[in-house]
């Protein structure tokens, strides 16, 4: 199947250009199409922009075991609606993805139902070293150094030393120091008991504070540097972490060893939003202050942070309506992430090429996804077609995520995903899905 895309502005690594694209058998055959090129179909995209499909390396699609919140079908449909063509799913499901067998079961399920390309992290437990050593077909090992329960919480130093010393897959981590979080929680509860005041959602920032993030990040970066182990720091939220990363990057060898990212909720919201959004704003790590948010944007622009992801973590509205601290942390965001970032571009926070770099090219290069993440000849035809001049108001009732809500309810965004192309096929186009399209398992090249 040969498809000709005409009339669009194409967001290339070198900048946006008005030119045509020819897709042949799922790959980009020509960027700038020679006259007389044959095509089976032609799509006129005049007035629209074509971006490389978003690669979201941090989502929680909740399958198996927690599918009342989300599943691979609904999550991947929401991804396609948002211009996301590849996702990496996290292991904190039920049962947790901590064995090769469970990893393969998730891959098999995704092959049946996922509308976009997919990959799954395997989780560390502190006692599954043999499973981690033989795991393949995964972007890497996910470690929860804080902010988890049961087997997935790995806080013991000896277990972490062995993990970094005796495995070869890239390691990525949720870094919040468990001892700090517990001490903060105890102090908060003591204060509440003394004053008689009620707990409020903004107290989440007191429990999961700047120190919890900075202490854990420093500890984990030390492990990665000492063991020379490839490491990716998830959802950076504080100026402290930015400063720490800038310090370790003074050694040029570290830049090829350690990468880091910010997530859309932390780039959009600040502590000023707790009163307005209440428990909808609960997120681990917590949403921090406006100064921290500014530091994240600075970190993206100067290269301290390489990736923008979502940490899409849906819960039902009934669950989120519980009072603090009983309401769970996490929010759905995958179907709006590209439009939200493009809204920030309209506001002058970044350029279109930055968004393509942070949300597509950098994730592909960071994780070793060959032939993905940019619009170039020979690359996979995973594309997002966007009207960057559209205006629409996000509404809970219009969300495709099974959770059925968005923390951006009522927010006007300045872009609309018109269509999403996966492997050369239109999985989503102008409000409709081609239910026959399935994504493919992501393949990773290791150095």
How large is the average pLDDT for residues 254-260?
A: 95
Q: What pLDDT score does 151 carry?
A: 82
Q: What pLDDT score does 134 carry?
A: 98
CA-nearest of 114, 160, 155 to 440 is: 114
User: What percent of the chain has a predicted confidence (pLDDT) above 90?
Assistant: 95
Q: What pLDDT score does 274 carry?
A: 98
pLDDT at 148 over 80: no
Q: Is 311 a catalytic residue?
A: yes
Taking all residues of the chain, what is their mean pLDDT, rounded to a whole number? 97
How large is the average pLDDT for residues 379-385?
A: 98
pLDDT tens per residue across span 22-52: 999 999 999 999 888 899 999 999 999 999 9
User: DSSP assignment of 330-342, as one string?
Assistant: ----TTTHHHHHH
At 243, is the pLDDT very low, low, confident or very high (cuts 50, 70, 90)? very high
Question: What is the CB neighbour count within 10 angstroms for residue 195?
Answer: 8
139-148, 155-164, 312-321, 335-344, range with the lowest pLDDT: 139-148
Return the domain boundaries, the chain.
53-370
Helices (H) and strands (E) in the chain, counts: 15, 22
Q: Is 260 helix (H, G, I), strand (E, B) or coil?
A: strand
Dist. CA 220–CA 108, nearest whole Å: 32
Identify the DSSP state of 358. Answer: I
Q: Which residues of 29-62 are buried (b: 16+ CB within 10 A; e: fewer)?
A: bebebeeeeebeeebebeebbbbbbbbbbbbbbb
18-22, 51-55, 143-147, 403-407, range with the lowest pLDDT: 143-147
Q: What pLDDT score does 446 carry?
A: 81
Q: What pLDDT score does 147 carry?
A: 66
Q: What pLDDT score does 90 carry?
A: 98
pLDDT at 76 over 80: yes
Q: What pLDDT score does 11 carry?
A: 98
Q: What pLDDT score does 388 carry?
A: 98
102-106, 142-146, 246-250, 406-410, range with the lowest pLDDT: 142-146
What lies within 8 Å, CB to CB, of 373 at 6+ separation is 52, 55, 360, 361, 362, 363, 364, 365, 379
pLDDT at 404 over 80: yes
At 146, is the pLDDT very low, low, confident or very high (cuts 50, 70, 90)? confident
pLDDT at 189 over 70: yes
User: What percent of the chain has a predicted confidence (pLDDT) above 70?
Assistant: 99
pLDDT at 150 over 70: no
In three-state form (DSSP H/G/I as H, E/B as E, the rest C), the secondary structure along 126-179 is CCCHHHHHHCCCCCCEEEEECCCCHHHECCCHHHHHHHHHHCCCCEEEEECCHH
How large is the average pLDDT for residues 363-389?
A: 97
How large is the average pLDDT for residues 347-354?
A: 98
At 179, is the pLDDT very low, low, confident or very high (cuts 50, 70, 90)? very high
CA-nearest of 364, 393, 278, 315 to 54 is: 364
Point out the catalytic residue in the list 24, 209, 311, 380: 311
pLDDT tens per residue across span 267-324: 999 999 999 999 999 999 999 999 999 999 999 999 999 999 999 999 999 999 999 9
Strands 84-89 and 117-120: parallel
Q: What pLDDT score does 149 carry?
A: 62
Q: 53-370 maps to which CATH number?
A: 3.20.20.140
């Amino acid at each position: 199947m040969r498809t000709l895309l005409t009339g669009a502005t194409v967001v290339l690594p070198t900048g946006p250009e008005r030119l045509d694209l020819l897709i042949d058998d799922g790959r980009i055959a020509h960027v700038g199409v020679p006259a007389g090129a044959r095509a089976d179909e032609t799509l006129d995209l005049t007035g629209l922009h074509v971006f490389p499909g978003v690669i979201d390396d941090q989502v929680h699609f909740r399958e198996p075991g927690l599918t009342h919140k989300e599943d691979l079908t609904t999550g991947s449909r929401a991804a396609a609606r948002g211009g996301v063509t590849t996702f990496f799913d996290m292991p904190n499901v039920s049962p947790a993805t901590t064995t090769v067998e469970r990893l393969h079961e998730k891959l098999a399920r995704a092959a049946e139902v996922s509308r976009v390309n997919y990959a799954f992290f395997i989780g560390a437990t502190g006692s599954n070293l043999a499973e981690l050593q033989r795991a393949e077909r995964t972007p890497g090992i996910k470690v929860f150094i804080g902010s988890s329960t049961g087997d997935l919480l790995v806080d013991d130093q000896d277990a972490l030393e062995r993990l970094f010393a005796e495995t070869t897959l890239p390691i990525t981590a949720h870094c919040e120091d468990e001892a700090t979080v517990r001490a903060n929680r105890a102090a908060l509860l003591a204060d509440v008991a003394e004053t008689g005041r009620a707990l409020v959602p903004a107290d989440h920032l007191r429990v999961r504070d700047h120190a919890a993030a900075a202490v854990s990040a420093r500890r984990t970066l030390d492990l990665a540097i000492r063991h020379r182990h490839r490491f990716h720091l998830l959802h950076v939220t504080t100026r402290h972490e930015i400063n720490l990363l800038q310090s370790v990057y003074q050694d040029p060898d570290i830049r090829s060893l350690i990468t880091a990212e910010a997530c859309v909720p932390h780039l959009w919201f600040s502590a000023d939003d707790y009163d307005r959004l209440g428990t909808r704003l609960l997120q681990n790590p917590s949403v921090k202050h406006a100064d921290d948010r500014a530091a994240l944007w600075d970190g993206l622009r100067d290269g301290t942070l390489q990736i923008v992801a979502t940490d899409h973590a849906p819960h039902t509205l009934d669950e989120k309506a519980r009072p603090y601290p009983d309401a769970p942390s996490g929010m759905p965001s995958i179907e709006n992430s590209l439009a939200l970032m493009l809204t920030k571009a309209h506001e002058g926070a970044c350029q279109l090429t930055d968004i393509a770099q942070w949300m597509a090219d950098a994730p592909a290069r960071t994780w070793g996804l060959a032939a993905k993440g940019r619009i170039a000849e020979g690359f996979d035809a995973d594309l997002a077609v966007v009207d960057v001049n559209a205006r629409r108001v996000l509404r809970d009732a219009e969300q495709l995520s099974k959770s059925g809500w968005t923390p951006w309810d009522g927010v006007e965004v300045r872009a609309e995903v018109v269509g999403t192309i996966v492997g050369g096929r239109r999985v989503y186009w102008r409000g409709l899905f081609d239910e026959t399209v399935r994504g493919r398992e992501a393949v990773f090249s290791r150095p």
